[in-house]
Structure formats: C-alpha cells, structure tokens
Amino acid sequence: MNPTPFGTRLRAAMDAHGPLCVGIDPHQQLVESWGLPYTLAGVERFAMTCVEAFGGQVACVKPQSAFFEVFGSRGVALLERVQSGLRQAGTLTILDVKRGDIGSTMTAYAEAFLGKDRSDAVDAITVSPYLGYGSLRPALDLAAATGRGVFVLALTSNPEGASVQHARGAGGRSVAGEVVAGAAADNAAARESGRLGSVGLVVGATVGTAVRDLGLDLTSMGGPLLAPGVGAQGGTAESLRQVFGEALPQVLASSSREVLSAGPDVPVLREAARRTGRQMRALVALSG
C-alpha cells in the first residue's frame, strides 16, 4: 500500500490545528532563560518539556538539529527521543538540517533522514539547493517514495541571502525562481489532483517585496510554504500578507522564540502555541 503523501497529511494537520509549526531550538540563551543549565541534561529537560507541551496541539514541530548535534552522539540520541515522542503524540515533525550535496553523498543524507527503514525517520527535512535544484533529486525521490516531504530553501530572511537568491542567470530567471520552478514541477501531479504537494519551500516571513520583485508565482508552486520569522524575529500578520499574497493559504508559519519564551511551564507553553495557531488560522480565513 502506498504511503499517504506528506502534503496530504500536512494539509489535514493545518486544518485541524491551524497553520503553525513550532520550533524546538534549545540554544544556550533560551535554555538558560528557562532557569536550566546549558548542559545535555538541561537541553533534555527543555526539549522534552516542548514535546509534552506541543505534542497533539500544533500542526507540526521543527527541531533544529544543530542544537542537538553540538552535544555529539548523546545529543543526537536525544533528538531521536524528541522525534519519537512527537510521533507517538501524532504530531508531524520537520527536521531543520538544511542538507545539500551531490550524488552519492546526497543519497546518503536522504537515507539518513528519510529512509524507509529508519525507525526514527522524520516527516520532512529542510534542504539547501545551492548546488543546483537537481542535486536534491535523491532526497526528492526518496521522500516521494516514503510519503515524506522536503522544504527547499528559496528566499531566506538573512541579509546575506539576497546576494545569491536574487541573482539572475543567463536566462534572466533568479536563483529563487529556479527553485520555485523546480518545486512546481515536482508538485504538478498533486496540484492537478487538488492536493497540497509534498515539496515545500522556505520563504522568510520578513523578505518584504522580494516575491513580487522577482516575479515568483508561489500559488502555482502547489506546495507548502514554511515561513520562519513569525513573532520575535519581526514577522507579523501584515508582513505575511505582503510576502505571500494569494499564496497565504499554503503558508505554514514557523515560530520559535515567540512561543518558546513562554516556557518552562507546560500549560503556559501549550497555550502560547495554541494561541499562535489560532491567530494564524484567523489570518488565513481573513485572506480567503
């Protein structure tokens, strides 16, 4: 039996809980703001508190792999526990790893995170296309075969990103435009059948008029749009409208610091996530 595509599962989760993805980003300042030591034990307490608060409450959760990897093999083992706990709660996970390479190396990355035999495999990962969109093919194909998803970096909010993403090639299309076109092609079958595709894009909530300036058609891309930067990083309802326009129903808003700053009390943290999810749902409803 073919697995249910990630885009279909994500659409159902967004409809049920609101279009919000909450990050688990246990960096030192945030962990210590909870009154915890910045040690593996402190990060474990932080991360598992998040699992308890968010599991079954939001559309999906996005752990940042780097903040676990910094503790070596024990940190990676903790990340696997986080993924397992969220899976048991029925909550989708997007692992923020931003992997990108070529050939056999990209194939190995894909198997590491998306392989069908991985007991700890996540529902989706973030990937970097700056060796060419086609270099991602091993991850794109494996994700499709196993019912998982990928989110490809397209327009990021960091100041350095524009120098690469806005650059135009010989044909006049921007690098970001090439990424959008690649995702649209991979989502074509899902789009034609009225489903949300499983190849998403990462487009920052604070990129301003870049989508319009570059002539990007995010609506026809047909997949989810992961929008980091909502809340503490400056993304507002108005900025989301400006950035995404008619593509707003495809947006999965991502908030980390804004929600996590409500910790460490589980009920308060849970309510912060629910409240933000309701706000995102209302924003999309107003746009319709």
Active site positions, annotated: 98
d(C-alpha 155, C-alpha 177), whole Å:
10
In the chain, the amino acid numbered 250 is Q
Pick from 253, 248, 195, 259: nearest CA to 226: 253
- Return the H-helix or E-strand segment holding 199: strand 199-203
Per-residue CA distances from 16 to 11, 12, 224, 231, 237 (Å): 9, 6, 16, 22, 20
Helix, strand, coil percentages for the chain (3-state, nearest 5): 55, 15, 30
CB-based contact 203:183 (threshold 8 Å): no
Q: Which two tokens stand for residue 193?
A: 């059948």
